[in-house]
Amino acid sequence: MLGSLAEGVTEVQGFLEGEDALATLNAFRQMGVRITGPENGKVTIHGVGMHGLKQPDQPLDLGNSGTSMRLLSGFLAGQGLDLTLIGDSSLSSRPMRRVTAPLAEMGAQIESTESGTAPLHLKPVKELRGIDYEMPVASAQVKSSLLLAGLYAEGETCVTEPAPTRDHTERMLQGFGYQVERTGGKICLKGGGKLLACDLDVPADISSAAFFLVAASIAEGSDLTLTHVGINPTRDGVITILRQMGADIEVSNRRDVGGEPVADLRVRSAKLKGIVIPEDQVPLAIDEFPALFIAAACAEGETVLTGAEELRVKESDRIQVMADGLQVLGISAKPTPDGIRIQGGTLQGGRVNSEGDHRIAMSFSMAALCAQATITIDDCANVDTSFPGFVEFARKVGLTISSMEETQ
């Protein structure tokens, strides 16, 4: 996104060829940005400058990517273009008012369905105005959307978050030469600046690593090292929570890559115990909870999660869908309005439905490592959304796993 509107050519190494990222690339191609790749993880983006995007001749299809839709709602609101953002059935059911309402305060004109969902129609406006917005709920996507809209707003845009959320956008803006000020939980920037192209080396995603941190913790005799993993302090909640559960995770070779902290993670099997998950860790591990629920199911004692109502409005209702699947496998999992109580035990085999949610499908794959019999997971087509090649990678580190296409 930033490379497309920067001055100059941005080279990206380590690009994840997941469907979400590819949908974003295609959206900018439709708006006239020349992008080559991805090839072996390399993408080259020829920036068109802050006002160089062109009117696309059809809606921008963002597939399953809530991040793309929410961030682009802000990023494109002040471009003076007439745009429609669409997505698949899952994305079209996700709440967008949390973004469109504050954007409207900035002067954006965005039409949605009566229920506040996609498709979103962005109408051209003369200009946006900066606002001082206090987020009612911690959300990196809302924060990022408003800051990106602030690039095109008159005056200063400030966002105050009630709890720390991932700060990749702020770091990336500074990497592209844009000044961002942070005071406590308040982040501010002034509109009217410009972005300067830079080279980026994207670290391995901790959300993807989380499945294997859990896997190696619960599988007896495991010793696995994951290299070049991003350990941004607003994203490392999964490491903190697993360690509190008794996991043996060693962090080594710490370094900075493009403004992001990176390290190698060595994880060995350990006897996990149930805990009360600290609420201050919830925003720092929000995408990793499906995997953490599997750790809880294999742990001794009860794990209690509260303050995580955000999980109910992800690609699925992750609290309910995970609870349903764990119950099928013989685990006591009691959902609550903002969390879940999981009593660790012995997982049985069974057939569970991921409800089309990529993280749930991958999490139940790991559950098989401590189950008494085979686990079959239905509705897994969206795994490629975030982790293309997941089955091959899982097999490479020792899981006995196959996809239905291979068995037919």
The answer to whether 228 touches 203, Cβ cutoff 8 Å, is yes
3-state secondary structure of 2: helix
Q: Which of 387, 24, 401 is nearest to 210 (CA)?
A: 387
Other CB atoms within 10 Å distance of the CB of residue 219: 18
- Measure the CA–CA gap between 203 and 185, rounded to whole angstroms: 25
Q: Which of 313, 353, 198 is nearest to 260 (CA)?
A: 198
Catalytic residue at 287? yes
CA distance to 199, 240, 275, per residue, from 253 (Å): 22, 18, 29
The answer to whether 104 touches 110, Cβ cutoff 8 Å, is yes
- Measure the CA–CA gap between 355 and 375, rounded to whole angstroms: 15
3-state secondary structure of 266: strand
The answer to whether 377 touches 364, Cβ cutoff 8 Å, is yes
Tokens linked to 104: 């409207």
The answer to whether 35 touches 45, Cβ cutoff 8 Å, is yes
The answer to whether 344 touches 300, Cβ cutoff 8 Å, is yes
* Amino acid letter, residue 305: L
Give me the catalytic one of 88, 287, 317, 357.
287
- Burial string for 295-330 (b: 16+ CB within 10 Å, else e) reads bbbbbeebbebbbbebbbebbbbbbebbbbbbebbe
Question: Which residues are the active-site residues?
Answer: 287
